[in-house]
Amino acid sequence: MKEYCMNDGRKIPAVGLGTFRVQPSDCERTVASALRDGYRLVDTANVYLNERAVGRGIAASGIAREEIVVTSKIWPTEYHKKARAAIDATLSRLGLDYLDVLLLHQPFGDVESAWAALEEAVEAGKVKTIGVSNFNEADLKRLLSHCKVKPALDQVECHPYFQQRELRAFLKQHGILLESWYPLGSGDSGLLGEPSVVRLAEKYAKTPVQIVLKWHVEEGFVVIPGTKDPAHAHENRDLFDFTLSEEEMDSLRALDRGTRFFTMKRGIQRYAVFFQRMNYDRQP
């Protein structure tokens, strides 16, 4: 597995397992099986309501804790005065005494005090690496103006239809890694059926999913495809026995339309519940 070095000197695998919308009943099994299958990065969030199942999957895998990079995120409803308690609650749900990566999930609300709580958690040894998610350049500039510890990662929507070109330049300048969410456009059949994707899949005897994921890795992104299916998880990390040429990468770069699958408007309509304070402990 390819690894990247983050700006705090710690390492992170190029490919991890995403768990958004993976129900606790599937999550425990998929996490355990993916870790046994070689995954060493798992991504969850308090708002996914599956941290307990992720923790059980980690325990059931039998893989040594120190070999696994566990990422979680804190939702903005917890930023103001509640961030310290939210970090402890996330650790308790996962059944872990430290997190490898903790992110602020969104750039809304009391980011300044939530970031200070993350910095404190690093000092206290509760978290190793801190970063952000869904922060654009302006959000990052604001954070960089008051932070003591620079974010190591920005987890954002990214895929061949939305390649984040401007943000990437800014992240590179500041040594912040891009981590792609919706790397498969949430499994979009249009993206996976693009002739350039299908042609490369045929050429390398890979699936369109593997071609798109390889594009992320070759671009230098951490990628966390989400799945409830252990066979899909296996396929999604089997990317390291072929290489895309610069010309082939260019044919995928040409798919950029600058369009997201997830707009805030659509997101708010579909996931309105995430914008209220939830009882994160109500999960099996």
As measured in angstroms, the least distance from the Cβ of 247 to ligand NAP is 25
Q: Is 182 in the site for ligand NAP (CB under 6 A)?
A: yes
Q: Is 19 in the site for ligand NAP (CB under 6 A)?
A: yes
Single-letter code of the amino acid located at 169: A
Which regions of the chain does DSSP assign to beta strands (E)?
A: 3-5, 11-13, 17-18, 41-43, 69-74, 99-104, 127-133, 153-157, 177-181, 222-223
CA pair distance 69, 94, nearest whole angstrom: 13
Among 181, 215, 274, 280, binds ligand NAP (CB under 6 A): 181
**Token pair for 260:** 């997201």
Q: Do the Cβ atoms of 194 and 25 come closer than 8 Å?
A: no
Q: Do the Cβ atoms of 146 and 178 come closer than 8 Å?
A: no
Per the document, the length of the chain is 284
Find how far residue 235's CA is from the centre of its chain.
Answer: 18
Among 18, 24, 76, 160, binds ligand NAP (CB under 6 A): 18
Residue 48 appears among annotated catalytic residues: yes
Q: Is 209 in the site for ligand NAP (CB under 6 A)?
A: yes
Question: Which is the catalytic residue, given 48, 79, 161, 280?
Answer: 48
Pick the closer one to ligand NAP by CB: 148 or 241. 241
- Estimate the crossing angle of helix 165-173 against helix 137-146, to 10 degrees: 20
Q: Do the Cβ atoms of 71 and 58 come closer than 8 Å?
A: no
Among 225, 237, 244, 251, binds ligand NAP (CB under 6 A): 225
Q: Is 90 in the site for ligand NAP (CB under 6 A)?
A: no
Among 4, 20, 98, 108, binds ligand NAP (CB under 6 A): 20
As measured in angstroms, the least distance from the Cβ of 175 to ligand NAP is 20
- From 56, 113, 43, select the one nearest 85 (Cα to Cα): 113
Q: Is 274 in the site for ligand NAP (CB under 6 A)?
A: no
Q: Map residues 110-149 to x or -, x wherever contact with ligand NAP holds by CB under 6 A.
A: -----------------------xx---------------
Residues designated catalytic: 48
List residues near ligand NAP by CB under 6 A: 18-20, 43, 105, 133-134, 155, 181-187, 209, 224-229, 232, 235-236
